């Protein structure tokens, strides 16, 4: 029996059009470009580069963007810093057009194309005052170090206070932009690159969870993965139910804890950061165990003996579960956990109200503060 050709052609055309949409296309036409000069495009996420040459004062690229978005460095000619033919920009799949120029290189060129272009230009304009303040902080930091070196405590304290005020102003500018641009593809970049120290990990997660539309790109997903072990913005959503065996084989489900707060902690005996957090987690547990909350740790182990040995060594007295299938753990997959440790705080109604709780060495303090705010 012959298969219909038109539907097959339609599927093929759809496949090719989908592949085409995954490309980033850059077209540049500028009088200051010199024929024969090399042009380089470097993807910061994948750490890969592409190159081409200028022809008729023009060049073009058509490249894959595996994560859908990445920060790129574009350089043309042999001395881009002097000629201004170097630029840094967050780009997505789609089109970027670079036209004209007034002799100042890419800075003076007209940039047009898909939404990510206008998102970036708007972000640069909005964050310009923050950039100025960050430069001031950098200069003051040199003065601060010099004052400390000379043993001038009063001068160092005064400079530190001034830097603190500037950081607050930078954070305010950043918050305003993020609040006003929840769909901007540049929002995650602001959080991750421009203001990496202005927000706690929990604040970053909350902002990332509010993003939508064009803002849900490779940058925001990469940030969420780094902060929570998951690319899914869970806050405010109903937690997926799960059933896992305890050390004696008894099945325990999330619904068994209905009406209580539940801290779900994904870990593994082989996970060094997980084991390092255990003392902090135990200290917090001892402070809140008599309140309306249950701790549930789910291990991504395969070897039961290693799992139970780690439990004994780390002295974790709360509920311990594992289906012993490693990283294919059913509960971990339900929560889209991509790395451990990963934590989710669920309220009595079953909604996720907190995730991650990663803040460097301050993991315990961040989690304890969050729990104290809810367990009153």
Q: Record the tokens describing residue 300, joined without a space.
A: 């991504």
Give the containing element (helix H, strand E) for 334. Answer: helix 330-334
Across the chain, mean pLDDT equals 84
3-state secondary structure of 49: strand
The predicted structure's pLDDT at residue 73: 94
The H helix count followed by the E strand count for the chain is 11, 15
CA-closest candidate to residue 108, choices 186, 25, 26, 30: 30
State the pLDDT at residue 19: 35
pLDDT at 276: 83
d(CA 28, CA 53): 11
User: Per residue in 95-116, pLDDT tens?
Assistant: 999 998 666 788 889 999 999 9
CA distances to 51, 263, 278, 364, 376 from 291, in Å: 61, 13, 20, 18, 9
Question: What are the DSSP E strand ranges found in the chain?
Answer: 23-29, 38-43, 48-53, 58-64, 69-76, 86-92, 94-99, 110-113, 243-245, 251-253, 261-267, 293-299, 319-321, 342-346, 352-355
pLDDT tens digits, one per residue of 350-371: 998 887 765 444 456 667 777 7
Alpha-carbon gap, residue 69 to 63, rounded angstroms: 12
Question: Which of the listed ranges 2-6, 178-182, 212-216 does the model predict with the highest average pLDDT?
Answer: 178-182
Give dist(CA 77, CA 56) in Å, integer: 14
Of 355, 374, 352, nearest to 363 (Cα)? 355
Q: The tokens of 236 are what?
A: 């405010």
Confidence of residue 279 (pLDDT cuts 50, 70, 90): confident
pLDDT, tens digit, for every residue of 152-162?
Answer: 989 988 998 99
What is the percent of the chain where pLDDT is above 90?
A: 50
Amino acid 193: pLDDT? 80
Bond into 166 cis (ω within 30)? no
Strands (E), 120-270: 243-245, 251-253, 261-267
How close are the terminal C-alpha atoms of the chain, in Å? 71
Tell me 351's DSSP state.
Answer: B
pTM of the model: 0.63
The pLDDT score that the predictor gives to residue 338 is 73
Query: Hunting for tokens 């509960």 — which residue is that?
Result: 331
Query: Which pLDDT belongs to residue 225?
Result: 64
Q: Specify whether the CB–CB gap between 226 and 341 falls below 8 A.
A: no
For residue range 189-231, list pLDDT tens digits in order: 888 788 776 776 667 777 887 788 888 777 777 776 666 666 5
Q: State the DSSP code for 55.
A: B
Per-residue pLDDT tens digits for 264-274: 999 999 988 88
Whether the predicted pLDDT of 318 surpasses 70: yes
Contact (Cβ atoms closer than 8 angstroms) between residue 93 and residue 22:
yes
Element (H, E) at 226: helix 218-228
List the domains of the chain with CATH numbers. Answer: 23-113 (2.60.40), 121-228 (no CATH), 237-375 (3.40.30.10)
Percent of the chain scored above 70 by pLDDT? 87
CB 245 within 8 A of CB 361: no
**In sequence order, what DSSP letters do the residues of 238-304 get, joined into one string?**
BPPP-EEEBTTS-EEEGGGGTTSEEEEEEE-TT-HHHHHHHHHHHHHHHHHTTSSEEEEEEE--S-H
For residue 167, pLDDT over 80 is answered with yes
At 67-104, the pLDDT tens digits run: 788 899 999 988 888 888 999 999 999 999 999 866 67
330 has a pLDDT exceeding 90: yes
CA distance 274 to 265: 9
Is residue 273 within 8 A of residue 341, CB to CB? The reply is: yes
**Alpha carbon distance 283, 343 (integer Å):** 16
Residue 325 has pLDDT above 50, yes or no: yes
pLDDT at site 1: 36
Which of 44-48, 188-192, 302-306, 340-344 has the highest average model confidence (pLDDT)? 302-306
- CA–chain centroid gap for 158, Å, is 34
Candidates 274, 311, 332, 342; catalytic one: 274
Q: 274 an active-site residue?
A: yes
- Any idea what DSSP says for residue 359? B
Do 236 and 209 touch, CB atoms closer than 8 A? yes
């Amino acid at each position: 029996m012959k298969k219909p050709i038109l539907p097959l052609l339609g599927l093929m055309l759809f496949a090719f059009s989908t592949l085409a949409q995954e490309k980033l296309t850059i077209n540049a036409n500028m009088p200051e470009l010199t024929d024969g000069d090399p042009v380089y495009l470097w993807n910061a996420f994948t750490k890969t580069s592409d190159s081409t040459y200028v022809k008729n004062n023009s060049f073009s690229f058509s490249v894959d963007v595996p994560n859908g978005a990445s920060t790129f460095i574009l350089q043309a000619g042999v001395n881009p810093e002097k000629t201004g033919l170097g630029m840094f920009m967050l780009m997505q799949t789609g089109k970027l057009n670079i036209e004209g120029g007034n002799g100042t290189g890419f800075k003076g060129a007209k940039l047009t194309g898909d939404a990510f272009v206008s998102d970036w230009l708007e972000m640069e304009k909005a964050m310009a005052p923050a950039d100025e303040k960050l430069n001031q902080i950098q200069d003051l930091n040199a003065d601060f170090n010099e004052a400390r070196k000379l043993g001038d405590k009063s001068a160092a304290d005064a400079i530190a206070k001034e830097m603190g005020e500037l950081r607050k102003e930078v954070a305010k500018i950043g918050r305003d932009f993020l609040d006003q641009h929840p769909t901007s593809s540049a929002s995650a970049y602001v959080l991750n690159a421009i203001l990496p120290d202005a927000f706690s990990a929990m604040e970053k997660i909350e902002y990332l969870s509010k993003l939508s539309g064009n803002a849900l790109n490779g940058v925001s997903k990469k940030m969420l993965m780094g902060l929570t072990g998951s690319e899914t913005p869970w806050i405010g959503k109903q937690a997926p139910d799960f059933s896992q065996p305890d050390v004696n084989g008894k099945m325990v489900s999330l619904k068994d804890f209905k009406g209580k707060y539940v801290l779900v902690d994904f870990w593994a005996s082989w996970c060094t950061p997980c084991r390092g957090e255990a003392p902090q987690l135990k200290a917090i547990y001892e402070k809140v165990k008599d309140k309306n909350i249950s701790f549930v740790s789910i291990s991504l182990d395969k070897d039961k003996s290693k799992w139970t040995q780690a439990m004994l060594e780390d002295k974790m007295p709360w509920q311990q579960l594992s289906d012993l299938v490693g990283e294919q753990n059913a509960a971990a997959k339900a929560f889209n956990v991509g790395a451990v440790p990963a934590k989710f705080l669920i309220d009595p109604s079953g909604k996720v109200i907190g995730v991650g709780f990663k803040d460097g060495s301050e993991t315990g303090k961040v989690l304890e503060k969050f729990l104290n705010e809810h367990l009153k």
